[in-house]
Structure 1
Amino acid sequence: MKKVLGACPLDCPDGCSWVVSVEDGEAVGMRGNPEHPVTRGALCVKVNRYLEQTRAPDRVLHPMRRVGRKGEGRFERIGWDEALDEIAGRLGEVTREYGGQAVWPFQGTGSLGYIQGLEGFAGRRFFNVLGASIHDPTICSIAGSTGLKYTLGTSGGMDPEDFAHAKLILLWGTNPLTSGHHVWKFIQDARRDGAYVVAIDPVRTRSAAQADEHLAPMPGTDAALALGLLNVIVGMGAHDQAYIDAHTLGWDAFRARIEEFPPERVARITGLPEESIVALAERVARTRPTAIRATQGMQRHAGGGMALRTLACLPGVTGDWALRGGGLCYSTSGHFKLNLPKLVRIDLLPHPVRTLSMTRLGEGLLDVGDPPVKALFVIGANPVGSNPHQRKVVRGLAREDLFTVVLEHFLTDTTDYADIVLPATMQTEHLDLIAGYGHLYLVWNEPAVDPPGECLSTSETFRRLARRMGMTEPSLYDSDEDLARQLLDSPHPSLAGITVEGLRKQGYARLNVDRPFLPFAEGFPTTSGRLEFHSQRALRAGHEPLPGFTPHADPGDGLVLISAASHHFLNTTFGNNPELRRRTGKPVIILHPDDAAARGISGQDAVRVENTRGSFEAVAEVSDRVRPGVAATTKGHWAKFNGGATVNATIDERDADMGGGAVFHDNRVEVALA
């Protein structure tokens, strides 16, 4: 028996370190690494079944070619030589007739690895030499990240481990017990020392049910609530004027903006009782340090970027950015200064190329561009299950003149539209490097077992395809270990002393930063060196220079539908796992009793959820866990198991206010008996 150190690659803040037990070349056990300061020996309910998933009988183990019509999901097995020949030939035809930009390397968050996944844009060197379009991964966190950069100069915030030192914790639009549960251990540490926990969420989630207090605003009104809290805090004289004077820019103008949001106005916008807004503001005013945990869900609407920008101002007014256990944590990825340019090698592009937005896949495939998209590579993604405007995406993928290659583990909703499906390795079968966006550690993934069947890593797939196409650029053939060394070859002091050898030995390494890590105690990485209440950078980008409130862009009739993370799926990963599907059951739509009664709906009724974009079927749950005016469901179901459509059939393919982010929670629907 040997123990192999690895890292979870999935789209979760926790970036867990794990230990795989291997006997006679087979992985026979997996557990969280007890030595890792955040993982602490525990994995989640999803990843506890990861080894089961690697051995699943429906796993793709060989290259396959489509034999039926697109959408039918009928394939024949072929060999790697045949697959590579066909791909190389079709790419050659496309690039000769339309140019390299007619190729779209569409990459998702199925793996956040730097070598095999999205964080390092695996395969990008190959596509650069080809002159392919650049893929912009806008689907997850970009609106909030962009907004934070206008205020803070970075999307990075406080060290999540320091939640243990907070006296007041605001879980703002986040449900860590389902999505990134390891921070809960630090929250528990704080509670043992007397901390008070408030959940701000339209739904009483698992985490909200465990909090000391729960406020349920209307979705998309978080910026107004933050301004309302600041209105009361400043009115009490509880702002930290010394910190404001020393470390912020544009206070007088922002103070005038705050005065526009008295509690009575904020109550009308958010649907919260005025007295609850005032009470929370008074608690924030008198409690230092206050820590805010806000993750990606709250910024997936028309005003998502502005919401995070405004929220980041709150600890600037109270001075919490200077305190251990104070501030805001959205993502720690802004603190990882790896040598991504050296890894990705954009310099290999023969000429400037266009950028295509991940959240606009349907539009990109159906609208005749210059050139039109003629070849699509789908890597670590299931866009039929994960992208907005499902019907539009399907129409685009169904084009007979579109050559589509999908690297996958299973036959998903998306592979049904592929011309070629290539068998990809899973995390226990290849080398990778992970940086969790909910902690400050790099985590090493050593391959524990050989790949099954004819599965190849993403990096090896593109090495072979480059060779088949006769590409001579030497860096296309760098080994995975070479790529990892290049990534770590960074002049930034946070990477000092971190090596492949050290990572391989311990399995992880903390960034070379102070402990406690107070990134903004003495300044900010903005042009001014201050927290920018007034941002010239935002103004130049066409936004308001001051933080504010941007209302929903889908203000029509019906209920606001939010589709949060499932407890048993991670996006659409594990959506085919029989046991996790059994635990999840059919898609559920939660309605407040008032909204259900108005529609003649009772618990367990079969209902249709619809708008002009599409519809899906679900089972009704009638509960006050959701506030009036809101319907709640979860993402991650596969369309092929649920009547051919999921919640994304109802979601619009348009941009949030900043960065081109998605608007999954800016969505009006009607619910009726099926």
Structure 2
Amino acid sequence: MEHFSACTLDCPDVCSTIVEIDEQGNTSIKGNPAHPVTQGYTCKKGKHALARINAPDRITTPLMRDGATFAPVSWEKALNAIANKISTLRSTPERMLHVRGFGFHGVLADTSRYLFGQLEASSTHGALCDNAIIESCILDFGELDQNSYTELLNADCIVNWGRDVLRSSIHTAALLKDAQNNGCQLISISPVSPEEGMRIHVSNTHIQIRPGTDRFLAAAIIRRLSEAGIPNTILNRTSNGSEFLAFIKKLDEKKLLDACGIRSEELNTLVEIYGKENCAVSSILGWGLQRYTYGGENVRYINALSMLSGNIGKKGAGSYGGVSTGRNFDSTWRSGSKTARKLLTPKLADEILDAGDIEFLWCDGTNAVNQTPEANKMAKAFNTIDMVVVVDAFMNDTAKRADIILPCALIYEREDILGSYFHNYIQHSAKVITPRGEARADYDIIKDLANRLSIPFPERDEILTTALNTKPITNLTKNPLEKIRRQGFLPTDWPTVAFKDMQFKHPDGKYRFPDPVLHDELKASVDFPLSLLSLINKDFEHSQIPADKQQEQLKAYVYPATLTQSNIEPDAQAYIVSPIGKIQVQVVADTSVHPEAVIVRRGGWMMFNRCPNTIIEAHVTDIGWNAAYYSQRVRLEPIEQ
């Protein structure tokens, strides 16, 4: 029997899937061929769902700390203990902290936010992932929006500013390949060539840029375009265009190119593309380029380039920074929530320690100890809290620091509806498998706890029905919940071209350029000359990596000459050293890596000495309060054999 469902991983593709269960109970997963984006195939990360569900080390019963170990307990005992602790803190809600991540997406995934909002508990602000892009685009355009993904097929040229589509979005990669086959020119700009590293070529040209310096290259292109003249039809649609261009014209081209490490010939190529008349250029914003101290500035200068080159508000063009996963849903079911205070996510360890009064922490949807900067300090912060509750299915770095572990149902064991930050379809993730052991869906866990606290809680279908009661969907069907459950996904009616005719969402309808300033990148020092880039893993999402896949040593990919300068042989053992610690790695010589960078793949656990966040300081971006992971400076040290 076949069941429509969907992948809930933190991925832009949000694949619509078909789960097939045969007469013997064997289960398989494939992409839904009827879905316009999924088109019948999924990535390795999505295919690993069944292995994760059936993993022998999965936690399937509530666990309570017993000294240095954990003992199985009943749901009754676990939830009563939690409810009793919360009850003692109802008059001091700031002493409760809710930490929620995006290990899985969905409307019902937000039920924990509803409960702790009703309790007025402390929560978090800022982000580990993409707030710098989101807030920068809102500052520029007035809202977060982009052309439909289908408009990439109408582009004459696509400039990919650092998005590793081969590891982060296989359907985007396929789309770029289709565009290329249609005659579209593809250019990638990043410190590392993912195509070379994976022996797959999807770009006609790769420009290797110094880590974190995209804004200087964008400014250099804008400067050249301004010399040729920006049409008044564009400048009239901006609120501060004249001031911004006056600043740009004063910049020195050589200094801009020196800052980003780009040759004049490469600049000429980009100027020709962005400056060509009647040439539709789509600019894809990589999530990595905003994970620097001036990541927001990187985004805003690339957006400014798209605007001034006439590539906003028309077909085949645009700046692709994403859309909100929740924009197709009505969230009024969560209204009335409050928070006592908000702690900054990228600096959460310091925030908890500085507060000094957190007595209860509920953590769900994230391996927070592992994923935040200064992971060792985060572990210490957790240890200062009287009761830590972790909702998870595996004994990861965060679960190890818990007092109570609540086993959650996984994808295909729970129902939800969710959107994408890449395309405009909404998907139904159906429950088609009975949760293993005593595992429960997050919604059921939260509702049971709410009942014990005498907090009214909406029914599942009430939440889903309310969420689907939105303008982009209501004109498609009178009963969207019934329809999406039946067919697995629904389209929406968002325009294919965002900001058509250069009409923006600011009160005056005009575009906003950044302030006339261009900040220098943090300088390398003699002690720490290299940038540590903890980039996306191609096989697993974030830290959702099986323990048996983490037994090999963490590898670091380094340009061969950089290894020579550090007196390290290829494949040798070495330390990556930062101001707050070091981690042992096996170095791999890789010509696709920028000479000033060290590449590791993110997600490894501390317990296996594979977590780069143990040596990454808590840097914060200029916009959006985002973690600036990639501004970490390090050095390589040989290990004497």
Could you say whether these structures have the same fold, taking a TM-score greater than 0.5 normalized by the shorter chain as the test? yes
CA distance in 2, matches of 1:172, 1:35: 31
Query: Are the aligned partners of 2:132 and 2:290 in contact in 1 as well (CA < 8 Å)?
Result: yes
CA distance in 2, matches of 1:49, 1:337: 28
What is the 5 A alignment of 1:208-223? 209-223=201-215
Within the alignment, does 1:459 sit opposite 2:443 as a pair? yes
CA distance in 2, matches of 1:39, 1:577: 29
CA distance in 2, matches of 1:495, 1:336: 14
Task: Name which of structure 1's ranges 664-673 and 462-471 shifts more when overlaid on structure 2.
Answer: 462-471
Opposite residue 300 of structure 2, the aligned amino acid is: R
What whole-Å deviation, never above 9, does each CA across 1:220-251 have from its counterpart, x for those lacking one? 111111111111222234x4442332x22211
Deviation of residue 549 (structure 1)? Answer: 3.0
Distance change in 2, residues 1:34/1:240 (3 Å): farther
What whole-Å deviation, never above 9, does each CA across 1:295-321 have from its counterpart, x for those lacking one? 321101111112112211122112111
Within the alignment, does 1:622 sit opposite 2:589 as a pair? yes
Residue 525 of structure 1: aligned partner? 505
Within the alignment, does 1:175 sit opposite 2:156 as a pair? no
Residue 511 of structure 1: aligned partner? 492
Query: Are the aligned partners of 1:302 and 1:551 in contact in 2 as well (CA < 8 Å)?
Result: no
Deviation of residue 398 (structure 1)? Answer: 2.0
Query: Are the aligned partners of 1:137 and 1:357 in contact in 2 as well (CA < 8 Å)?
Result: yes
Within the alignment, does 1:354 sit opposite 2:341 as a pair? yes
Query: Are the aligned partners of 2:177 and 2:202 in contact in 1 as well (CA < 8 Å)?
Result: no
SS of the residue corresponding to residue 331 of structure 1 reads: coil
Distance change in 2, residues 1:240/1:500 (3 Å): farther
CA distance in 2, matches of 1:15, 1:431: 15
Deviation of residue 264 (structure 1)? Answer: 1.3
Opposite residue 384 of structure 1, the aligned amino acid is: V
Distance change in 2, residues 1:336/1:27 (3 Å): farther
Task: Name which of structure 1's ranges 431-440 and 588-597 shifts more when overlaid on structure 2.
Answer: 588-597
Query: Are the aligned partners of 1:155 and 1:334 in contact in 2 as well (CA < 8 Å)?
Result: no
Q: 2:303 aligns with which of 312, 316, 322?
A: 312
What whole-Å deviation, never above 9, does each CA across 1:25-51 have from its counterpart, x for those lacking one? 946110111111111111111211211
CA distance in 2, matches of 1:458, 1:335: 19
Residue 566 of structure 1: aligned partner? 537
CA distance in 2, matches of 1:311, 1:567: 26
CA distance in 2, matches of 1:376, 1:428: 27
Within the alignment, does 1:77 sit opposite 2:72 as a pair? yes
What whole-Å deviation, never above 9, does each CA across 1:175-197 have from its counterpart, x for those lacking one? 10100111122212211121111
Residue 252 of structure 1: aligned partner? 242
Q: CA RMSD in A?
A: 2.0
Distance change in 2, residues 1:12/1:348 (3 Å): closer
Within the alignment, does 1:292 sit opposite 2:283 as a pair? yes
Distance change in 2, residues 1:521/1:203 (3 Å): same
Residue 366 of structure 2: aligned partner? 381
Within the alignment, does 1:660 sit opposite 2:615 as a pair? no
CA distance in 1, matches of 2:547, 2:16: 22
Query: Are the aligned partners of 1:494 and 1:512 in contact in 2 as well (CA < 8 Å)?
Result: yes
Percent identity, aligned pairs only? 23
SS of the residue corresponding to residue 256 of structure 1 reads: helix
Deviation of residue 112 (structure 1)? Answer: 1.4
Q: In structure 1, list runs of 5 or more residues that go unmatched.
A: 535-544
CA distance in 2, matches of 1:313, 1:55: 48
CA distance in 1, matches of 2:23, 2:630: 48
CA distance in 2, matches of 1:662, 1:93: 34
Q: 1:104 aligns with which of 97, 108, 117?
A: 97
What whole-Å deviation, never above 9, does each CA across 1:553-597 have from its counterpart, x for those lacking one? 464332111111011121101x1164x557xx4321111222111
SS of the residue corresponding to residue 184 of structure 1 reads: helix
CA distance in 2, matches of 1:236, 1:42: 46
What whole-Å deviation, never above 9, does each CA across 1:593-640 have from its counterpart, x for those lacking one? 221111111111111111121221111011221112111111011121
SS of the residue corresponding to residue 12 of structure 1 reads: coil
CA distance in 2, matches of 1:552, 1:402: 41
Deviation of residue 61 (structure 1)? Answer: 0.5
Q: 1:187 aligns with which of 166, 176, 180?
A: 176
Query: Are the aligned partners of 1:233 and 1:282 in contact in 2 as well (CA < 8 Å)?
Result: no
What is the 5 A alignment of 1:522-601? 522-533=502-513, 545-546=515-516, 548-553=517-522, 555-556=524-525, 557-573=528-544, 575-576=545-546, 578=548, 581=550, 585-601=552-568
What count of residue pairs does the alignment treat as equivalent? 631
Deviation of residue 68 (structure 1)? Answer: 2.9
Q: 2:136 aligns with which of 128, 142, 147?
A: 147
Within the alignment, does 1:230 sit opposite 2:219 as a pair? no
Deviation of residue 335 (structure 1)? Answer: 8.2
Deviation of residue 169 (structure 1)? Answer: 0.7
Within the alignment, does 1:95 sit opposite 2:90 as a pair? yes
Residue 417 of structure 2: aligned partner? 433
Residue 600 of structure 2: aligned partner? 633
Task: Name which of structure 1's ranges 200-209 and 26-35 shifts more when overlaid on structure 2.
Answer: 200-209
Residue 257 of structure 2: aligned partner? 267
Distance change in 2, residues 1:151/1:632 (3 Å): same
CA distance in 2, matches of 1:255, 1:95: 55
Residue 351 of structure 2: aligned partner? 364
SS of the residue corresponding to residue 127 of structure 1 reads: helix
CA distance in 1, matches of 2:322, 2:104: 17
Distance change in 2, residues 1:148/1:25 (3 Å): farther
CA distance in 2, matches of 1:23, 1:132: 46
Structure 1 runs (4+) deviating above 4 angstroms are 24-27
Q: 1:671 aligns with which of 632, 636, 641?
A: 636
Q: Structure 2 length normalisation: TM-score? A: 0.94
Q: In structure 2, list runs of 5 or more residues that go unmatched.
A: none
CA distance in 1, matches of 2:337, 2:172: 40
Opposite residue 317 of structure 2, the aligned amino acid is: G
Deviation of residue 136 (structure 1)? Answer: 2.2
Q: 1:302 aligns with which of 293, 299, 316?
A: 293
Distance change in 2, residues 1:95/1:23 (3 Å): same
Opposite residue 106 of structure 1, the aligned amino acid is: V
Opposite residue 526 of structure 1, the aligned amino acid is: H
CA distance in 1, matches of 2:140, 2:442: 37
Query: Are the aligned partners of 1:243 and 1:316 in contact in 2 as well (CA < 8 Å)?
Result: yes
What whole-Å deviation, never above 9, does each CA across 1:394-414 have from its counterpart, x for those lacking one? 111122x43100000111111
Distance change in 2, residues 1:240/1:435 (3 Å): farther
CA distance in 2, matches of 1:150, 1:192: 35
SS of the residue corresponding to residue 177 of structure 1 reads: helix
